[in-house]
Structure 1
Amino acid sequence: MSEKDIALLSVKDFLTPQMLKFAILPFIISLVVMYILFFIIAGIGIEQLGTLQVYSSQTTIQNGVPHTESLSAVLEDSAIIKFLMNYTITSWLATFLIYAIGGFLTIYISIFFAVVIIGFLTPFILREIQARHYKDVEMIGYGNILYFIFFAIKWTLAMLALFILLIPFYFIPLLNIVALNIPLYYFFHKMLTLDVSSSICTAEEEKQINFFNANKIRMKTLALYLLSLIPFAVFFGAIFFVIYLGHTYFVEVKKIRREI
């Protein structure tokens, strides 16, 4: 089956009533989470913008003895907010930056949550795909709940470590776009391939597929990740991601078992 055939078949499967029903749950949960996070992040930005910590100290010498006086104060609301909001340009720029950053972080966090949520629906989606197209391919699977929790925690920590290690690149134009997306793509790729492969094939089959098709699978997950960066696409797209990657693993598993 060619890549074009897999893509077209995935779209047809996604548009079936059953798959659209599956798409509703991650859409609702992710949308609620995104809505709440957006206003929390934007609210924190406004709060921090409206609060400024001022600290000063002065040392004097009296009779040869040094005396230090310190002053600590917090300027709230008026000083910064009033200055920015008194002028149309600064008001617009401040509001834009706060909500742009909030929206940017919200999209990233929504991708993280969508990947986690879709993990619970993956077996049901793949069974539907199997019943439609791969009745001759048994879904054996491997791993257990502790296995998945372990790797989810491991890859989350690795993602956070990558975010920290790549900080120097965040200040370089254009390169910062790539650097910001590498950690989340790493988590996206690992979780999505684990969810799909562990539901369909054995551990040995999964190793064999990754050995011979590693670059092809990475290209597919990268394309799916870039698609998820489109606002709101990840909400419905998460189901399509599983369907598309599911077809890939079903085809590869079928080839392996025919050769045995």
Structure 2
Amino acid sequence: MNLLWKTLADLKEPAILIRLFIPFAAGLVLVSLLGYGIFGLLLTSDWVLQSTVVQDAQTWQMHAESTIGAIPLIGGLILWFIGLAVTVIAGVLGIILGSYLVLLFAMIITGFMTDTLVKTVQQKHYPHTAYSGHGTTAGMIWKLVKYGLLMLLLLIVTIPLLFIPLVNVIWFWMLGFMFFRYSIVLDVGQVILPEPLFEKLKPMTNWEPTMAVGILFALSVFPMVSFFAPVLAVIALSHYYLDQLSLERPNPADIS
């Protein structure tokens, strides 16, 4: 919780506050264009509605409803329960998917501001702690692509879990959190830490930063909060990594 308090306290800084709303403004425009433009036109087009897959699915649904509804006494009750369950699950997954879409845009935009956010935190709280980081942007992007493909493969392999109520929501949330944490840790860690220290601090079992990032990710289930979560996570990890770096590299003034 200490990292979260430090992060919230930094929001009074104009340099951070301005950058906090950049993903919100840009992401709001991009998500609106994508959601109401591309997706809206695609999902209401004849190409989708008249496709063989959609037609077969509708036919199967009608046959299933007729068969279940014909069951004496409880057929109607079963249909009602199935409809309620599908509605609730679809609603929850829809909220999560929507928040993931917003979060992904916000993460991409925040990635271009990581250097300046880290520099702002360092100048205000750790002026005597120099940092140089490690790695390259191309290397980081390649690692993110590989990890993203791994998460996608894991999702495909575990598709049966998505049909289990509650388990599907938890599992989908966990996959999203793993990618979110990996991305933020890699982004901020490569800016601040030398590679040996980064390798030491990056595991998920390093609970202090993991809990802070986890709380911020949990709040991002609300689409509006998703715009701000990556910036707040970068600030929180900047505090943690700069603090750990200061322990590795004591202030020269203190030594003398």
Q: Normalising by structure 2, report the TM-score.
A: 0.74
**For residues 209 and 176 of structure 1, what CA distance do their matches in structure 2 show?**
30
Q: Aligned match of 1:107 in 77, 87, 99?
A: 99
Partner of 1:87: none
Query: Do the aligned partners of residues 110 and 177 (structure 1) sit closer, same or farther apart at CA in structure 2, a change above 3 Å counting?
Result: same
Q: Number of aligned residue pairs: give it.
A: 220
**For residues 195 and 219 of structure 1, what CA distance do their matches in structure 2 show?**
18
Q: Write out aligned runs for 1:1-260 (5 A).
A: 3-4=1-2, 6-39=3-36, 40-47=38-45, 51-52=49-50, 100=91, 104-210=96-202, 214-258=206-250
Cα deviation, 1:168-191, whole Å, max 9, x if unaligned, reads: 101101101012122221211111
Cα deviation, 1:18-67, whole Å, max 9, x if unaligned, reads: 11211232112211222123224355444479834579xxxxxxxxxxxx
More off after superposition, 169-178 vs 39-48 = 39-48
More RCO (CA 8 Å, sep 6+): 2
For structure 2, the residue ranges without an aligned partner over 5 or more in a row are 57-61, 63-83
SS at match of 2:112: helix
**For residues 26 and 145 of structure 1, what CA distance do their matches in structure 2 show?**
20
CA contact (8 A) 1:197 1:206 kept: yes
Query: Do the aligned partners of residues 54 and 123 (structure 1) sit closer, same or farther apart at CA in structure 2, a change above 3 Å counting?
Result: closer
CA RMSD of aligned residues (A): 3.2
For structure 1, the residue ranges without an aligned partner over 5 or more in a row are 56-72, 75-79, 81-92
Amino acid at match of 1:121: M
More off after superposition, 185-194 vs 24-33 = 24-33
CA contact (8 A) 1:112 1:184 kept: no
How far apart are 1:209 and its partner, in Å?
2.2
Partner of 2:65: none
Amino acid at match of 1:195: D
Higher strand share goes to which structure? 1
Query: Do the aligned partners of residues 216 and 28 (structure 1) sit closer, same or farther apart at CA in structure 2, a change above 3 Å counting?
Result: same
**For residues 51 and 25 of structure 2, what CA distance do their matches in structure 1 show?**
40
SS at match of 1:141: coil
CA contact (8 A) 1:141 1:198 kept: yes
CA contact (8 A) 1:14 1:239 kept: no
How far apart are 1:103 and its partner, in Å?
5.3
How far apart are 1:205 and its partner, in Å?
1.1
**For residues 196 and 121 of structure 2, what CA distance do their matches in structure 1 show?**
22
Amino acid at match of 2:49: T
Amino acid at match of 2:11: F
Amino acid at match of 1:105: L
CA contact (8 A) 1:38 1:103 kept: no
CA contact (8 A) 2:106 2:228 kept: no
Amino acid at match of 2:14: P
Partner of 1:86: none
**For residues 167 and 211 of structure 1, what CA distance do their matches in structure 2 show?**
27
